Amino acid sequence: MILEYSKKGDCGVSYARGNARIPFRVTDGVKLLTATVNGVAGTFLVDTGTTYLTVTTAFSDKAKLKINAAVRIPMKTVGGTVQAAMGTASAVVVGNAEARSVTVAVIQGSREPFSARIDGLLGMSFPARFDTRLTPNGIELTARSPDQTDIGQPLSDMNPVGAAKTRTR
């Protein structure tokens, strides 16, 4: 479907590049990994039940995320329901896997919604861009290539095509 719409709009189909096989770091029984958002590295918990890449306000400020404070959604967390402002990360990188224009949710009004050592949740707005395989020990991300004509072009030369999901956890 992305390929079909990209041809109609005369835009690139690639909105994700690269492949990665990342082992989890286990801390106190929690499986974590490092993700870089807008050039800022953070510690993330992979949560396939969360629709969006979700970050703390402090991490959002460091990563200079583009946030629309007027667009808020309720999100259920372990600590209860919180409000999240919606925005966009210019680039998200995990290992050698990179996606552009990734939808993010920024938790509002809670200093440490996940814990002091976790900057956010790697929700599906990032891994849904890839063929993703979770194993007990890590995550494997493989970029999809529906149109072989754009292979070899840098991602920065492409027009990103976003995929939106509407459910929240």
Q: Which domain holds residue 75?
A: 15-147
Per-residue model confidence (pLDDT) at position 48: 87
CA 2, CA 14: separation in Å to the nearest integer? Answer: 9
Answer whether residue 22 is part of any domain.
yes
Using alpha carbons, select from 45, 109, 47 the residue that is nearest to residue 80.
109
Answer whether residue 167 is part of any domain.
no
Residues of the chain with pLDDT under 70: 1-14, 111, 145-169
Per-residue model confidence (pLDDT) at position 35: 98
Per-residue model confidence (pLDDT) at position 117: 87
Answer whether residue 79 is part of any domain.
yes
Per-residue model confidence (pLDDT) at position 38: 97
CA 1, CA 157: separation in Å to the nearest integer? Answer: 21
Asked whether 53 and 105 are in contact (CB, 8 A), the reply is yes
Per-residue model confidence (pLDDT) at position 148: 33
Answer whether residue 162 is part of any domain.
no
Answer whether residue 9 is part of any domain.
no
CA 169, CA 161: separation in Å to the nearest integer? Answer: 24
Q: Vertex 97, ends 7 and 35: CA angle to 5°?
A: 130
Number of structural domains, the chain?
1
Answer whether residue 10 is part of any domain.
no
CATH number of the domain residue 124 falls in: 2.40.70.10
Answer whether residue 169 is part of any domain.
no
pTM, two decimal places: 0.76
